[in-house]
Amino acid sequence: MAISRRLLLSLFLLRAFSSLPAQAAARGASHPSGTSGNYGSFLRNLLQDNPMITEELVRGYMSNSELEIAVHAIGSRYPNISRIYSIGKSVNGVALWVIEISDKPGQKEAEPAFKYVGNVHGDEPVGREVLIKLANWLCDNYLKDPLATLIVKNMHLHILPTMNPDGFALRRRGNANNVDLNRDFPDQFFPNNDEINYRQPETRAIMNWVKQEHFTASASLHGGALVANYPWDGSRDQSKQYYGCPDDKTFRYMASVYSQSHYNMSLSKEFKGGITNGAFWYPIYGGMQDWNYIHGGCFELTLEISDVKWPKAAELPVIWEQNRMSMLNLAASLVKTGVHGRIFAADTGHPIPGSLTIKGIGSEIRASRTYGDYHRMLAPGENYEVMASMEGFRTKATRIVVEEKAVSLDFILDRDGANGQVVRNDLGCPCDDDKLFHVQGARLELYLFVLLIIIALYVLFKRKTTSKFTIHRHSPKRPIAV
């Protein structure tokens, strides 16, 4: 009798696990979505690993030390358009190296920033390989290829080839503590995951990075399916359903940019158009994608770029070519569409770190403290009412039409007179100061005299010259100021 009960129990458990979605291994649902209880800490640890990765599969992939050499080699070969820096270390002390690609790497500019993150799961190494190829291709083709030149000149691209070097070395999904890093972020539906004692160093590194760099958009690269996944990744009641975020239309546009640029992702029979809402595919909680959008104002996609989690190394060149245009076009979409501009104080002309909202969309992004610049992803072909606001200033709004090209829109905000709060930007400028320059005593007359001479010389030069100089951003339209 006892043996039959054990047999029945074993059959029941086997049936329960076999009923899980076959694609769950891609984003990493190690447990049924309905699990309750100590949800925050329980789902971070994996009950079991995937089958052993053989030596034959590992052969041809870069080791962690070889990957580090490849990263620094890019910085050495292209010092004028790249910068190498670390955002932290893994559990086992492996540095998390980032390649920044820009015509002014390391400098703050009024430009959008995009990040690619690979190897979130240790047993999905394709991302680390193709991201090194992406960095090399961009640097090799700068000033040769128009798309490479557009990206390098108009944005800051940050590439983290591996978020989970320990998991890769151990040939398993989780990190050295056997924690699934894509379940380790604070979650809007399950506050238990806010328990900081469980937070892994790789996760903390990403969270600090997002807070420092002010990213506009990003994507993480995974394996095990072929689809572009967008928020939300989970639903309030944990059920499998379409659960769109406030920017659902924009996210679907971004996912489609990737899918339609891919060799065959958009032809998927499983996912219409090669894109999917995360909760509709299967719900997960504690994911990096949703946290980026909620807490960083960063529009992040989860990209499944290979049907096989760990394909043979011989297949990597083909996978790279199939994803190359998708990766380039997604990054370039930051400057090709959406609305971009700066927010200024009317009385001083200084940039201010105001907020930007779109009427009818319940999300907010903030302008940078240095230049007051903002960069907002929006789906083209729509009318939007854009509002800029900041405490101590009167809100301003205007309507725009986003077509196939980006809209440049500056805001000049008037003080509401309620208070005299001083707001300082990263350059140390006090935003309530009514002077752009501090001039004292008798020096004022000297400065005015020099200024008049400069103006006279400028007018004389303008009369004699016939050359025309155009300040060209990406969009040919001049910025609108409201």
Burial 143-153 (b: 16+ CB within 10 A, else e): eeeeebebbbb
The torsion defined by the Cα of 374, 380, 383 and 386, in degrees rounded to 10, comes to: -10
Q: In 3D, which of 54, 105, 116 has the Cα closest to residue 80?
A: 105
382-389 sheet: strands from edge to edge? 361-366, 355-358, 382-389, 396-402
Here the tokens at position 54 are 């053989």
Catalytic residue among 100, 129, 300, 304: 304
Angle at CA of residue 373, ends 369 and 375, nearest 5° = 125
Here the tokens at position 386 are 């854009």
3-state secondary structure 55-119: HHHHCCCCCHHHHHHHHHHHHHHCCCCEEEEEEEECCCCCEEEEEEECCCCCCCCCCCEEEEECC
The 10 Å Cβ neighbour count of residue 400 is: 18
* Prior bond of 310 cis (ω within 30°): no
Phi, psi for residue 57 in degrees, rounded to 5? -70, -35
- Return d(Cα 382, Cα 384) in angstroms, integer: 6
- Return d(Cα 179, Cα 169) in angstroms, integer: 14
- Return d(Cα 406, Cα 428) in angstroms, integer: 30
- Return d(Cα 409, Cα 344) in angstroms, integer: 12
β-bridge mates for residue 342, sequence order: 373
- Return d(Cα 187, Cα 246) in angstroms, integer: 16
Q: How many residues does the chain have?
A: 482
Q: List CB contacts of 342: < 8 A, sequence separation 6 or more.
A: 110, 351, 367, 371, 372, 373, 374, 410, 411
Grouping H, G, I as helix, E, B as strand and the rest as coil, residue 387 is strand
Here the tokens at position 299 are 């529009």
Q: Is 304 a catalytic residue?
A: yes
> Is 195 within 8 Å of 203 (Cβ atoms)?
no
Matching residue, tokens 């070519």: 321
The torsion defined by the Cα of 35, 36, 37 and 40, in degrees rounded to 10, comes to: 80
Question: What residues are labeled active site?
Answer: 304
